[in-house]
């Protein structure tokens, strides 16, 4: 019997605005059946998703959110080395982001990346790369990475730094907005591995949709699915019944559906909750990506 009753795949977005077309939610029941999209007329806003996670989740739901739950720490011994107000833990980081961005609407995070002490660590649009984007002065163009992103790369993924805010593959903006939401959730749900896995209750974890796609028989370069036939072939590889539909489907919806089915398939594997690279200090500072072994 599964520890969880439901599995929610959540494709997140860091875009500006009240609603984001990049947000999609899909729910899978532990009892079986195909994953189901959670529809919202007009699209989802981040505050609406916050309300669902806070008030409307089925009991004992495992939520996989496609974002980074923290920033690099281990590489330089701090999130923002040299800044006297650099937070000491991931939860402190969430609180700092939310406080600085109190005047940003819709859980946006513009005030954080524009902060004079923080902006130098980021690569931003318009060719604006802060002089601390690479904390050790190295010439590595990809910037700083968490330990878990190294684990992602070893599986065949191509992660980007959470300090990078440029390009279609960047997750920096969605990660910052997601960290605001996690702070505002408070103790509503545990956030693994920052919180130990509890015996009961809902749990939120960071996921990388490419990991789910690889387990569903796709390659990292073909992780995005935009066709119902391909979606159902991937779901079959995750031991899931097919969803109803023909023709095109947007990749945000397919990511959420695949993730929900994947979480249901792998959640009872004890190895996935104990990746070899995860230490207690990393759990408290950088966090980890569920499934990055």
Q: pLDDT tens digit string along 224-275?
A: 999 999 999 999 999 999 999 999 999 999 999 999 999 999 999 999 999 9
* Residue 125 maps to a domain: no
Share of residues in the chain with pLDDT > 90 (%)? 90
- Look at the chain and report how many structural domains it folds into: 1
DSSP state of 198: P
* Residue 137 maps to a domain: no
* Residue 132 maps to a domain: no
Based on the number of CB atoms within 10 Å of its own CB, is 72 exposed (0-12), middle (13-18) or buried (19 or more)? buried
Residue 36 has φ and ψ, to the nearest 5°, of: -130, 130
Give me the pLDDT at residue 139, please: 46
Give the tokens for residue 187: 């103790």
* Residue 48 maps to a domain: yes
* Residue 188 maps to a domain: yes
**How far is the C-alpha of 123 from the C-alpha of 161, rounded, in Å?**
10
pTM: 0.96
pLDDT digits (tens, 9 = 90+) for 4-24: 999 999 999 999 999 999 999
Section 26-32 average pLDDT: 97
pLDDT digits (tens, 9 = 90+) for 177-231: 999 999 999 999 999 999 999 999 999 999 999 999 999 999 988 999 999 999 9
Q: What is the mean pLDDT of the chain?
A: 95
Give me the pLDDT at residue 1, please: 67
- Bridge-partner residues for 191, per DSSP? 204
* Residue 292 maps to a domain: yes
* Residue 128 maps to a domain: no
* Residue 29 maps to a domain: yes
By residue range, what is the domain housing residue 185? 1-113+146-162+169-293
């Amino acid at each position: 019997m599964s520890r969880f009753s439901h599995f929610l795949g959540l494709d997140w977005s860091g875009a500006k605005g009240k609603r984001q077309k990049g947000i999609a939610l899909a729910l899978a029941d532990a009892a079986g059946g195909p994953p189901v999209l959670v529809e919202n007329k007009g699209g989802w806003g981040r505050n609406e998703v916050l309300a669902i996670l806070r008030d409307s989740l089925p009991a004992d739901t495992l939520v996989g959110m496609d974002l980074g739950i923290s920033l690099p720490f281990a590489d330089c011994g701090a999130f923002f080395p040299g800044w006297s107000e650099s937070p000491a833990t991931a939860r402190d980081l969430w609180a700092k982001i939310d406080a600085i961005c109190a005047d940003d609407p819709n859980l946006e995070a513009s005030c954080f990346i524009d902060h004079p002490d923080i902006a130098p660590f980021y690569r931003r649009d318009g060719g604006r790369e802060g002089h601390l984007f690479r904390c050790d002065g190295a010439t590595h163009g990809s910037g700083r990475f968490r330990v878990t992103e190294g684990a992602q790369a070893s599986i065949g993924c191509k992660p980007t730094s959470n300090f990078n805010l440029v390009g279609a593959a960047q997750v920096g903006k969605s990660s910052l907005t997601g960290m605001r939401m996690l702070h505002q959730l408070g103790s509503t749900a545990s956030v693994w591995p920052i919180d130990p896995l509890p015996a009961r209750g809902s749990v939120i974890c960071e996921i990388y949709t490419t990991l789910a796609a690889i387990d569903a028989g796709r390659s990292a370069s073909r992780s995005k699915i935009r066709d119902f036939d391909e979606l159902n072939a991937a779901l079959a590889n995750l031991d899931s019944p097919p969803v109803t539909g023909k023709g095109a489907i947007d990749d945000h919806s397919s990511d959420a559906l695949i993730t929900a089915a994947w979480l249901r398939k792998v959640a009872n594997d004890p190895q996935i909750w104990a990746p070899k690279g995860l230490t207690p200090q990393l759990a408290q500072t950088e966090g980890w990506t569920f499934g990055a072994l």
